[in-house]
Amino acid sequence: MDNIQKNYNEIMNNVRKSAEVVGKTESDICVVAVTKTVDVERMKELQKLGINNFGENKVQELLDKYDEFENINWHFIGHLQKNKVKYIVDKVSLIHSVDSISLCEEIDKQAKKYNKIVNVLIQINIGEDEKKFGIKDNQLDEFVKNALNFNNIRVCGLMTILPNTSNVEEKREFYSKMRKLIVDNSHKIVDNIDSASLSMGMTSDYNIAIEEGATIIRVGTGFFC
Ligand SMILES: *Cc1c(COP(=O)(O)O)cnc(C)c1O
């Protein structure tokens, strides 16, 4: 068995175990394989094993790879510049990293050209880390009110990237805060809490994230190391 197969088995096994802890199954968790800097060949290997969600954080890299694949849901997970929205808006299933109303405005404008409704998550800087993008949790209420004015955007939930820390308890606390935030706000954005998306957790901590309520995890190096 090569590494990708071995890593895949291990990750899916861990996802199943963590999901069980919170009364879910692995199919309740969307596993996005983060494929930045990973070549097409290795991505295809992962797709064959059953992954059909890829996440990229650079517009150009997504565009370079896009035509090489069929039946993939593309997730944009990096900081998105307004002038690049037009290149990806017709290609992505979910933009995880919406952090300004002016970005919403641009996504809405470009989406209209394709007669498409674009799914987005609002990025929350839950650790209030200067080096991370995202709005503060106390800005969410106002942000949602404004974002709901755009007809060609569907706000599906929230996303976060934690500050760099290896402190497990600290991570759990941040993820738990995110869970609370979505419970308190989901009624404003979706019909019921069960349909709200919460994108959090990477290779080092996706178990904790799932246990704290993640519905989408973003795993990169774990698959490709
Ligand atoms: C790179 C990246 C990931 C994946 O990180 P790993 O530690 O490699 O799993 C997840 N989310 C975002 C936004 C990223 O840029």
pLDDT tens-digit readout, 33-77: 999 999 999 999 999 999 999 999 999 999 999 999 999 999 999
Residues 83-123 have pLDDT tens digits of 999 999 999 999 999 999 999 999 999 999 999 999 999 99
Kindly give the number of the ligand 1 atom that is closest to the alpha carbon of 77: 13
Do residues 76 and 95 touch, judged by C-beta distance below 8 A? yes
| pTM for the predicted model, two decimal places | 0.97
pLDDT value of position 114: 97
Q: Tell me how far the alpha carbon of residue 71 is from its chain's centroid.
A: 18
pLDDT value of position 1: 59
Q: Whose CA is nearest to atom 4 of ligand 1?
A: 220
Please give the average per-residue pLDDT across 169-179, as a whole number.
98
Distance CA 49, CA 149 (A): 40
Kindly give the number of the ligand 1 atom that is closest to the alpha carbon of 159: 13
CA 148 to centroid of ligand 1, rounded, Å: 28
Kindly give the number of the ligand 1 atom that is closest to the alpha carbon of 97: 13
CA 113 to centroid of ligand 1, rounded, Å: 31
Distance CA 115, CA 82 (A): 19
124's enclosing H/E stretch is: strand 118-124
State the amino acid at position 153 in one-letter form: I
Pocket test for ligand 1, best of 32, 202, 225 (most atoms within 8 A of CB): 202
2 has a pLDDT exceeding 90: no
pLDDT value of position 190: 82
Please give the average per-residue pLDDT across 173-194, as a whole number.
90
CA 101 to centroid of ligand 1, rounded, Å: 24
pLDDT value of position 195: 86
CA 48 to centroid of ligand 1, rounded, Å: 21
Residues 117-168 have pLDDT tens digits of 999 999 999 999 999 999 999 999 999 999 999 999 999 999 999 999 999 9
Kindly give the number of the ligand 1 atom that is closest to the alpha carbon of 204: 7
Q: How confident is the model at residue 25 (pLDDT cuts 50, 70, 90)?
A: very high
- 37's CB contacts (< 8 A; 6+ apart) are 61
216 lines ligand 1 (CB under 6 A): no
Please give the average per-residue pLDDT across 75-80, as a whole number.
98
pLDDT value of position 72: 98
Kindly give the number of the ligand 1 atom that is closest to the alpha carbon of 222: 9
Q: How confident is the model at residue 193 (pLDDT cuts 50, 70, 90)?
A: confident
